[in-house]
Amino acid sequence: MRLYAVEKDARNTSPDERLGLQQARAKPTFEELEIWLQQQMSKISGKTKLAEAIRCALGPRREATSKMANRVESVRSSVYD
């Protein structure tokens, strides 16, 4: 629900404002989720479907973090070009 609230608040804002909101409010939520998922992995067998799903969820999380960093640079570059 927190992520939906971030996107709702970011609607009708400039790209810079939207990015700022996402970084300030969504990023910590994703970080909390990643920690929670890693904690769950330590409690279950790595051979289960649940473990497979958690690994699947954690993979894109790392990719999304990288994309967010790249997006910041992209926005900065386009602003100053």
Given a cut of 90, whether residue 44 has pLDDT beyond it is: yes
Mean pLDDT of 39-49: 94
Long-range contact set of residues 78-81: C-beta below 8 Å, sequence gap at least 24? 79/16
Question: With contact defined as beta carbons under 8 Å apart, do 76 and 41 qualify?
Answer: no
* Average pLDDT over the chain, rounded to an integer: 81
Given a cut of 60, whether residue 26 has pLDDT beyond it is: yes
| Conformational region of residue 52, where left means phi above 0, alpha means psi within -120 to 50, and beta covers everything else | alpha
- 64 versus 18: the higher-pLDDT residue is 18
